[in-house]
Chain A
Amino acid sequence: MATTTRRALFEHWFKQPATLLPDGHKALAPTDPLQLLINRSSFGLRSAEYQAAQALGFDGWLERQLNPESIDVSGLESALARLLPTLSMSNAALIADARATQNSFRSFIELRSATFLRQFYSGQQLYEVMVEFWSNHFSVEHISGPIRQFKTPDDRAIRSNAMGSFRDLLNANARSPAMLFYLDNYVNVVSGPQENYARELLELHTLGVNGGYTEDDVKNVARAFTGWTINGRGDYEFIFNGLVHDFEAKTFLGQAMPAGQGVEDGQQVLDILASHPSTANLIATKLVRRFVADNPPATLVDAVAQVFLSTGGDVRSMLRTIFSSSEFAASGDQKVKRPAEFVMSAMRVLDLQFQGDAPIRRINAYLEQLNQLPFMWPAPNGYPDVQGYWINTTAWLTRWNFAFAVAENTLAPGLYFNPATLIGSANKAAEVVDVLADRLLHRPLLDEDRALLIELVAGGAPVDARIDARTLQLRVRELTAVLLASPYFHFR
């Protein structure tokens, strides 16, 4: 099949939602640029963050989020370190801990909890969004065998490089025991090379399926990575085992790998990939799909790919290009929250309070039902990032049930919010609707929807009557349920 056709077909996979939209899309009231930035670059903002963002404005908020080291999270991190001791353990310590406690799920539960808690509490919101992005790009299935242990250091490596360079991310990932195990490279040996890692490295991590490689390239890359394995008799870290490496000459994308090379073979492949235009295009496409539209505008993809090539894959530079682009500014309602973003943003905008571990268990249960637990996508391509995959009847029902349960305070013991503090001094129906819509949605309502909601809050009384405090509590909960369940809250 001609390359152009194959590329077109691949792109169509991601164009599905846009092309399936019938005419007559209900236009919601547009968000302003700051609201769009907030909704796209975070898991929803707590009230203090929302106020800070409004004070800083678009550029100020963007620069602060692009420089997470300027945002203090030491309190959160020291609490996590105290509560979740496996977070800082080495692979060897994690394996020893699992054996000693006869509990191979301890590190699994602790990392998942830390992921939820960081997304929920951390002020470094764009950074946490990027951690999720790269975790998904280098997807491994957390529950699979020793990945329950290996994912913890793998996560640390991703966190170290999430705002750094793609080359560093790639080099770390190729040596990550989690990935070596997940895509079977730890058993890739000269006597019977196996292609799992090689193929997905090219197809998913770097060049893309139409990135210009052949089946022979896949086979040669598999040979290049023979002997890249896990030191199972020592520290459980990456080790190059020359005894099972293929030292014969190879070629990849027309470049020679001379005979006699050892670990240099794989490194040469990684170096070629990290600076290849097809890799730039794949990463740019995925970033633009993440932050701008399911159907990424080609002009912006090209611009971001150029930044990738000129900066050695610098993440910050690519993000700055995306958020400052005209394509971004014009992309309102092009992205729908995936389940994790929906759940986390509902909790953040309400300034929910946590107590005990029941809330985490319930969040976990909902995300399981919605099929987006952290690091649990069952294939190496990561969770899809298009609404056509995530939105259907059953997904709506689960999202609505979560919204109602949160608003009605039935989600979990130990998880609560105070309706009175959400609305400040507002006590008339229209004020309540306006304050709460801005606070929860970070966007304006259409007049017709606003009118319906004002009637709901008035509850049959004149809409300009003052509502007593007790009734107000109830009305705020009801209004919260409807707002969080409505389409407004599901676009980001």
Chain B
Amino acid sequence: MKNQLSRRDFHRLACAGASIPLLGSRVGWSASRKDASNRDVIVVVFQRGAMDGLNAVIPYTENLYYSRRPTIAVPAPGGGAESAIALNDQFALNPSLAPFKALYDAGELAVVHAAGLTTPSRSHFDAQDFMERAWLSQGSVFDGWLNRYVSSLEASTATFRAVGMGTAVSRSLSGAAPVVGLSSIEDFGIESASQRSESLKSLLSQTFDGQSFVDSTGLRAFAAVDELATSPAVNAEVENGAVYPDGAFGQRLRDLAALIKSDLGVEVATVDIGGWDTHNNEVNELNPLLAELSEGLAAFRTDLGATMARVTVVTMTEFGRRAYENGSQGTDHGRGSAMFVLGGGVIGGQVYADWPTLADAALDNGDLAVTTDYRAVLAELLIKRGGVSDLSAIFPGLESSPTSGLFA
């Protein structure tokens, strides 16, 4: 696409001088925006591959952390640029997460530690599946928890209400409620050189006239293209000097910020970042990913400016890594890991944990135990920031109480 008019250029040309009538067209669904105006936009970041929570947020006062990880432990705070950044008198950030420190200090970011699935699975694929369906012990639920959340809201005509950023829609967002998958704003359009291109597109859309998954996603693509083409999102600039990291994660956060700022009615979105399976040579694998994660989310927050008051980001990963390192300077599959929550409604500046310690008796088969059900965090999020009063359909069978004090 580099050697021709880009879609973004095309949209610019198409939209030139047309901004005022387009704004008028938004009035049609202002009613649903009013209903949604009390809710946060919920953004879920999934770190696929299982982040080593112990090397991301370090229990630096525990000698066992250092003795179990002789070659990969992050030095305790105070030892120079390579050493951890203290958050409080117990936990410290990996220095590659430095962008989180300012957000933590500003009270916008909190850490939840020793969090994860209450069902032990050390399979990436099972654990991600359990986590995203939020259905851990019984069959018959196939859709994702975020999709069930969307289904629980009042009806909306906003095409972009639920957006899966990327080439595929995450399992957590898949289900009966319609979703837009969007990999990049720039590429989100239909290009045809035919003089009869409008007729061709119209005819094409008529071949998608059933209600199957194939048909309904096809028709939604036509609707989403039309709506995005007349939206300010196609011209949105990064604001407030935010600098996104290179790569797909940064690009997708940047595009998501543009969608959110453009009043398209986005209420939930998912973004993935992969590569966390650090069995070997962990320090060199993990630190660049931590930097990408924290730089990306910090840029997202900066870019959104005041809008961040109604946006909450939560990160999750399928499990943590073993408490002790293996023979190849890495860590094998474990249990508890860390989650980050970020946003205007977050009670930040705290590490929320019922800390199990790394003592032999406290470990779960050699791993940091899970003491906070990740669903308990999501439950408080949906109650406080999503306005949900009945969680039973979204988290069926949830026995854990929602966390308390993470969200305003």
Residues of A within 8 A of B (CB): 1, 5-6, 8-10, 12-13, 15-17, 19-27, 183-184, 187-189, 191-196, 199, 203, 209, 215, 218, 336, 365, 369-371, 378-379, 381, 387-398, 400-401, 404-405, 408, 410, 449, 452-453, 456, 477-478, 481-482, 485-488, 490-491
Decide if B275 touches A378 in the complex (CB within 8 Å).
yes
Decide if B216 touches A22 in the complex (CB within 8 Å).
yes
Of B34-42, B196-204, B384-392, the stretch lying at the interface with chain A is: B196-204
**Cβ contacts A to B, 7 pairs, < 8 Å:** A15-B142, A184-B280, A195-B279, A378-B275, A394-B182, A397-B190, A452-B203
User: 9 nearest interchain CB pairs?
Assistant: A26-B210, A192-B327, A392-B181, A187-B328, A371-B167, A194-B326, A393-B221, A486-B207, A25-B212
CA distance A379 to B209 in the complex (A): 36
Residues of B within 8 A of A23 (CB): 211
Consensus secondary structure, chain A interface: helix
CA distance A171 to B137 in the complex (A): 36
Residues of A within 8 A of B183 (CB): 369, 394, 398
Decide if B194 touches A191 in the complex (CB within 8 Å).
no
CA distance A6 to B204 in the complex (A): 42
Consensus secondary structure, chain B interface: loop
Decide if A194 touches B191 in the complex (CB within 8 Å).
no
Smallest CB separation, B397 vs chain A (Å): 12
Question: Which of A5, A184, A387, A410 has the most C-beta atoms of chain B within 10 angstroms of its own C-beta?
Answer: A184
Is B31 an interface position by the 8 A CB rule? no
Is B55 an interface position by the 8 A CB rule? no
Is B61 an interface position by the 8 A CB rule? no
Query: Given A187-B280, A189-B327, A397-B188, are A20 and B224 also a contact pair (CB < 8 Å)?
Result: no
CA distance A21 to B143 in the complex (A): 12
Chain B stretch 155-169: residues in CB contact (< 8 A) with chain A: 164, 167-169
Residues of B within 8 A of A398 (CB): 183, 187
Query: Given A369-B183, A400-B204, are A405 and B279 also a contact pair (CB < 8 Å)?
Result: no
Decide if B139 touches A17 in the complex (CB within 8 Å).
no
CA distance A184 to B204 in the complex (A): 48
Smallest CB separation, A153 vs chain B (Å): 22
Residues of A within 8 A of B225 (CB): 397
Decide if B142 touches A19 in the complex (CB within 8 Å).
yes
Query: Given A194-B326, A387-B214, are A5 and B207 also a contact pair (CB < 8 Å)?
Result: no
Residues of B within 8 A of A370 (CB): 167
Chain B stretch 186-239: residues in CB contact (< 8 A) with chain A: 187-194, 196, 199-200, 203-204, 206-218, 220-221, 224-225
Decide if A9 touches B327 in the complex (CB within 8 Å).
no
Residue of B nearest to A6 (CB): B126
Residues of B within 8 A of A (CB): 1, 4, 48-49, 119, 122-126, 129-130, 133, 135, 137-139, 142-143, 164, 167-169, 171, 174-176, 179-183, 187-194, 196, 199-200, 203-204, 206-218, 220-221, 224-225, 274-275, 277, 279-280, 325-328, 330, 332-333, 365
CA distance A408 to B190 in the complex (A): 13
Smallest CB separation, B132 vs chain A (Å): 10
Query: Given A184-B328, A408-B192, are A13 and B125 also a contact pair (CB < 8 Å)?
Result: yes
Residues of B within 8 A of A19 (CB): 142
Smallest CB separation, A395 vs chain B (Å): 7
CA distance A490 to B212 in the complex (A): 13
CA distance A486 to B209 in the complex (A): 11
CA distance A394 to B180 in the complex (A): 8
CA distance A218 to B217 in the complex (A): 41
Query: Given A10-B126, A391-B214, are A379 and B137 also a contact pair (CB < 8 Å)?
Result: no
Decide if A25 touches B139 in the complex (CB within 8 Å).
no
Smallest CB separation, B143 vs chain A (Å): 7
Residues of B within 8 A of A195 (CB): 279, 326, 332-333
Smallest CB separation, A48 vs chain B (Å): 28
CA distance A12 to B167 in the complex (A): 22
Residues of A within 8 A of B171 (CB): 13, 16
> Which of these, A371, A388, A453, contacts B213 with CB under 8 Å?
A388
Residues of B within 8 A of A188 (CB): 327-328
With A199-B333, A378-B274, A388-B213 already in contact, 7 other A-B pairs whose C-beta atoms are closer than 8 Å: A20-B213, A25-B210, A25-B215, A191-B327, A379-B124, A397-B221, A482-B207
Decide if B125 touches A209 in the complex (CB within 8 Å).
yes
CA distance A24 to B182 in the complex (A): 26
Residue of A nearest to B224 (CB): A393
